[in-house]
Amino acid sequence: MKMTKLAAVLAATLVAAPAVAQDLHFPMLNYRTGPFAPGGIPFADGYQDYLTLINQRDGGIGGLPIRTSECETAYNTERGVECYESIRGDNPLILQPLSTGITYQLIPRVTADGIPLHTMGYGRTSALEGETFPWVFNYPANYWDGASVAINYLLEQNEDSLEGKKIVLIYHNSAYGREPIPTLENLSERYGFELVEVPVDSPGQEQSSQWLQIRRERPDYVIMWGWGVMNAVAIQEAANIRFPMDHFIGIWWSGSENDVVPVGAGADGYTALTFHGVGRDYPVYEDIQTYVVDRGMAAGNGDQIGSAVYSRGLYAAMLAVEAARTAQELAGHAQITAAEMRTGMEHLSITEERLTELGLPNFSAPFDVSCQNHGGSGAAMMQQWDADTQTWSLITDWIQSDRELIGELATADAAAYAAENSITPGCL
Amino acid sequence: MSDTVLFAMEAALNGLTVGIMYSLVALGFVLIFKASGIFNFAQGVMALFAALTLVGFQNGQVPFAPLINAIFGTSVHDFGFNMPSLLAIPATVVVMVGMAWLIERLVLKHLVNQEPIILFMATIGLAFFLEGLGDIMWGAEVKRLDVGIPQGMSGAVDDFTYNWLGYGFYLDTLNLWALVIAGIMVTALVIFSQYTKQGRALRAVADDHQAALSVGISLRFIWVLTWSIAGIVALVAGIMWGSKSGVQFSLSLIALKALPVLILGGFTSIPGAIVGGLLIGVGEKLFDFFMQPVIGGATENWFAYMLALVFLLFRPQGLFGEKIIERV
Amino acid sequence: MLYREAGDFKTSYASDNQTFPIRFDRVAYWVVMAFAFLVLPMIMGDYWANSVVVPFLIYVIAALGLNILIGYTGLLSLGTAAFMAVGAYATFKLTTSFPGMPIYIVFLLSGLITSAVGVLFGLPSLKIKGFYLAVATLAAQFFLIWLFTRVGWFFNYSTTGQISMPERSMFGVLITGASASSTAVYFTCLIFVVGMAWLARNLTRGTVGRSWMAIRDMDIAAEIIGVNPLIAKLSAFAVSSFFVGVAGALTFAVYLGAAEAGEAFGINKSFLVLFMVIIGGLGSILGSFLGAAFLVVLPVILKLLLVDTLGWPADLARHLEVMIIGALIIIVLIAEPHGIAALWRTIKDKLRLWPFPH
């Protein structure tokens, strides 16, 4: 008798538990430790600060508070799996794994479990094919966009002709570093420039032979796909061989303060791609100061605010919040599920007016997500480092990537994936 | 001269200077191995820890700030003043000596007479501990390290070779300084071990522990001494490598660059560490130069090991190592 | 009490030779087996299965393999992760080239391929000893990883160099891929662990194992009494690599599902397995289990304690965790240099005499 009562109570709590949870769960898979911690810390801070701001200023999204949970991956795939397993039963709405390796493991898992995955500026490029990868989103830009934008920028600089120019790609010898190669090879055929590939083995503490080679090659431009300590060393070596810094272009993961500050004055003029605004000249930072920093709720040490990767974390959080808002409108209720969140992400529309409302005017290129295109606009800007003021500044407007070419490459890759895993592409 | 020869010469020269940078790390290993037979895996992390401490002192950071903040809910970060390098370096040396003393007290004392592999494992444990400690004490973000050593292309070498050969060689000034510093360090070590009482005691211990004990040399003092010296060597290596890349976690991985130097030179020889470093440096740069067009680059991680492995097949104790005598 | 025995009376060779000469151990063994096969799958949730138990089982296989090399033959190797990578890439190549091949056979074949590679890299051990050999095995580590990231054939020329495991089933049950149930994955790992542990135990008790131990204790003396060092050392490398290769295949196929050589099989993993062997106990089958359990479960428990219970920041907890693991390694080595297994052996000896220690 007593036992049945107890069991009934237990069962009731178990059944009722999900309904009680009146909040929106935004888990964070961060890496504040390990070899890549310097890149992981600002992103995590930015992501968390923006969500704190939404909670503090607006009381959450649609009246529901955002609940964050942090899981430390140390950029390690096994820890990533552990983190995923620990949060997947806790109604996560959106996952940002922050690592290409973890992304590849999670793609089949989230597809089976029905949890949206947002890999912003990393991860699997062909995931922009929404029909093959319904649960994976990589808006607003991916690596192939990055390569294409870099070349388009150089075309702009050279009166639309790169004929006979020599461009070196120095890259992290890993899956990530090799991403741009097919795109760049393709573009080199089209525009007639010579592409020289120079790999650097992880971690890249010692690069003198690579830079001797670059010095011998006398390239017109160097494009870098680097990560971690490799960035700083490469920029240092480039400064050492007196390579003109404004002819040295890094991908967005090679364009943070961590990469240029250790080099000091030598890094002045180094350029990097970015798919979001940089610096603190956005009205939203006043709110962050008032509602987050002044209330003592800043994430981490609070010393990263306004840095390049912090902005990226903030941007990711902003997109997640906007997607949740869209999802709430579409669903007609505030307590959305992961599936409704996915629908929201698929109907996400970032417009200039909305960005201004959010206090982030021109922070992002406007874009619409659709079932077919999970990849956003593909536009990016160029930022340049000023060593005197220790700031990044934007030197171009949005530069559009060659989406036609990228679409072709992505369709082929997605088709191969679909065939390997017997997926029938289609909208959910 | 043809371009290829010039380029190869340039690569080899760079290899020599980079090799010295490897030797700086390898020296610390040799010192400890010689004096106590311990293969100190923590040497790389010690370099990282020393560099972190130095930068922390320079910037006036509060040690353990994140931990203090987490426990007491405060938000302290730094003392608000900067320490000049001339003061920060001796302060770091004091920390490293203190650490050596603690290591002897807490770890080595309890592991006397254990097999080498157990001691080796203990140093791996130590490496983990120091890695976590360094991060908790000083934070995990990248820090700039500048103690005033010039960096960048050496103009003198460039001009000289341009006038002489018609092609300006590139050499990093920092690496040239490493050459000078390594020279000073080896000389100092030689003078110390040949002409001072403690140095002679050190050599006696390296020769034969038991005999040294029986003539009244305190083994424990000697251990503290060697670990202190290794700590100072680690600080020098940390400064040189940290100036290149900033101080961050990856700095501890330079230990992996030093291991092939060690096997090539022999675990027990200080000149071996220098010569081994030079050989590895030149070998890997030249291999990369000639093989890069054939197999693609990024061979540096394994080439040094392969070179050392092939070398070992002919001379199992390394270039200058003591001959391994087996008694049955 | 628990260990009730009086003297060493055996009436047949079979009973003299059995694996567990003491009845209590035999009973305990069967109880553990019954628990692992019958009870655990019932009570274990997905989280525990996928992020604790499955990695534990896989690491047991790797630790067994490394223990054969270090603990039984005395050859120090730091290339474990690279051999795991060989197993993983062999599985990928085999299963994508021959989709119809039963996946268990693929795992075993991957082990054999790793064996061959292991023997190749074991050749220097005939000449080089001690730490010199350890550093030489690092050559294998860096070279193999470089090969797997560089040569397109190994990852079927995919643009990124990531390898992903397609869905495969055995006996009609899905084993690999995201849709595979955690129970199927668990049983796969369990079957391999039991099989491999049985193999390791019996190999180390037999002629081969004795020749390994003779080499470990003193190779020259062993050679003089007629142990062929060539065969003994290379067979140790072969068997060890087979185990490690199977562990790598399982890591890739059932645990991670996707992998990239440099990241999933980096040098840190070599060290992790080495820790397991040393902490668990050199030259002990039980030690491999204990060591793996210690190092897989400990971080999870520390995380539950520091982050979920005390609410500390995740990064601080992680730094502390690294420190605690480092400190524990030192403490275990000081307390019992021969690992947890030796600690257990001491307890057992005491228990056998208890309650009359004199």
A partners (3+ CB pairs within 8 A) are B, C
Residues of B in contact with C132 (CB under 8 A): 263, 267, 312, 316-318
From CA A245, how far away is CA A242, in angstroms rounded?
8
pLDDT tens digits, A367-399: 999 988 898 888 999 999 999 999 999 999 999
- Answer whether residue C115 shows pLDDT above 60: yes
Q: What pLDDT band is residue A353 in, cutting at 50, 70 and 90?
A: very high
Residue closest to C170 by CA, chosen among C112, C101, C95 = C101
Show the DSSP H helices in A124-179 as ranges.
143-157, 175-178
**Lowest mean pLDDT across A335-344, B138-147, C74-83:** B138-147
DSSP-assigned letter for residue C151: -
Sort residue A69 into left (φ over 0), alpha (ψ -120 to 50) or beta: beta
When pLDDT is averaged across residues B20-43 and rounded to a whole number, the result is 88
B39/C131 touch (CB, cutoff 8 Å), yes or no = yes
C275/B256 touch (CB, cutoff 8 Å), yes or no = no
The nearest alpha carbon in chain A to C268 belongs to A76
Q: Which long-range contacts (CB under 8 A, 24 or more apart) does C42-50 make?
A: C44/C182, C44/C186, C46/A85, C46/A89, C46/C182, C47/A85, C47/A86, C47/A89, C49/C182, C49/C183, C49/C185, C49/C186, C50/A81, C50/A85, C50/C182, C50/C185, C50/C255
C322/B129 touch (CB, cutoff 8 Å), yes or no = yes
The nearest alpha carbon in chain A to B66 belongs to A301
In a domain, C15, yes or no: no
> Residue B79: what residue type?
F
Q: What is the mean pLDDT of chain B?
A: 85
A201/B299 touch (CB, cutoff 8 Å), yes or no = yes
When pLDDT is averaged across residues C104-110 and rounded to a whole number, the result is 94
Degrees, nearest 5: CA angle A334-A338-A342:
95
The beta-strand segments (E) located in A185-318 are: 194-200, 221-225, 248-250, 271-274
Show the DSSP H helices in B76-196 as ranges.
85-106, 116-138, 155-165, 173-195
pLDDT tens digits, C120-138: 988 888 888 777 788 778 8
- 3-state DSSP: chain A helix, strand, coil percent, rounded to 5? 50, 15, 35
CA distances from A23 to A90, A316, C357 (A): 11, 19, 62
pLDDT score at A19: 45
Of B115, B133, B312, the CB nearest to C136: B312
Sequential DSSP letters for A55-102? HHHHSSBTTBPEEEEEEE-TT-HHHHHHHHHHHTTS-B--B----HHH
pLDDT score at A151: 94
CA distances from C315 to A24, B139, C215 (A): 23, 10, 45
- Kindly report the backbone phi and psi dihedral angles of residue A359, in degrees, each rounded to the nearest multiple of 5, phi listed first: 80, 25
pLDDT score at C89: 95
In a domain, C78, yes or no: yes
Q: CA of B8, closest CA in chain C: separation in Å?
A: 24
- Answer whether residue C79 shows pLDDT above 50: yes
Q: How many domains does chain C have?
A: 1
The nearest alpha carbon in chain C to B66 belongs to C316
Residues of A in contact with B25 (CB under 8 A): none
The nearest alpha carbon in chain B to C338 belongs to B118
The answer to whether B263 touches C129, Cβ cutoff 8 Å, is no
Q: What is the mean pLDDT of chain C?
A: 86
The nearest alpha carbon in chain B to C121 belongs to B309
DSSP-assigned letter for residue A247: G
pLDDT tens digits, A75-85: 888 888 888 98
Q: In sequence order, what are the beta bridge partners of A367?
A: A350
In a domain, C4, yes or no: no
The nearest alpha carbon in chain A to C162 belongs to A175
Mutate to test the interface with B, among A41, A178, A208 (most CBs of B within 10 A): A208
- Sorted by where each starts, the structural domains of chain A and their CATH numbers stand as 23-141+280-377+412-420 (3.40.50.2300), 143-274 (3.40.50.2300)
Residues of C in contact with A33 (CB under 8 A): 315, 318-319, 322
Single pTM value for the model:
0.89
Of A182, A202, A413, the CB nearest to C262: A202
- Answer whether residue C40 shows pLDDT above 50: yes
Say whether residue A175 is in contact with chain C using an 8 A CB cutoff: yes
Residues of C in contact with B118 (CB under 8 A): 278, 333, 337
Q: Which domain holds residue C82?
A: 21-266
From CA C80, how far away is CA C274, in angstroms rounded?
8
* Whole-complex ipTM: 0.87
C256/A78 touch (CB, cutoff 8 Å), yes or no = yes
Q: What pLDDT band is residue A10 in, cutting at 50, 70 and 90?
A: very low
pLDDT tens digits, A178-236: 888 889 999 999 999 999 999 898 788 888 888 988 988 899 999 999 988 899 999 99
First to last CA, chain A: 48
Residues of A in contact with C247 (CB under 8 A): none
- 3-state DSSP: chain C helix, strand, coil percent, rounded to 5? 75, 0, 25
- What is the number of H-type helices and E-type strands within chain C? 17, 4
Of A71, A176, A420, the CB nearest to C314: A71
Q: Which long-range contacts (CB under 8 A, 24 or more apart) does C313-316 make?
A: C313/A32, C313/A70, C313/A300, C313/B66, C313/B70, C314/A30, C314/A32, C314/A70, C314/A71, C314/A72, C315/A30, C315/A32, C315/A33, C315/A37, C315/A41, C315/A72, C315/A300, C315/B66, C315/B140, C316/B66, C316/B67, C316/B70, C316/B136
In a domain, C77, yes or no: yes
Packing angle, helices C314-335 and B65-72, rounded to 10 = 110
Residue A179 CB partners (closer than 8 Å, separation 6+): A125, A143, A144, A147, A225, C159, C160
Q: For the CA atoms of C205, C206, C208, C212, what is the dihedral angle to 10 degrees?
A: 30
Q: For residue B136, what are its two tokens?
A: 């908790």
pLDDT score at B320: 77
pLDDT tens digits, A143-183: 999 999 999 999 999 988 888 999 999 999 887 888 888 89
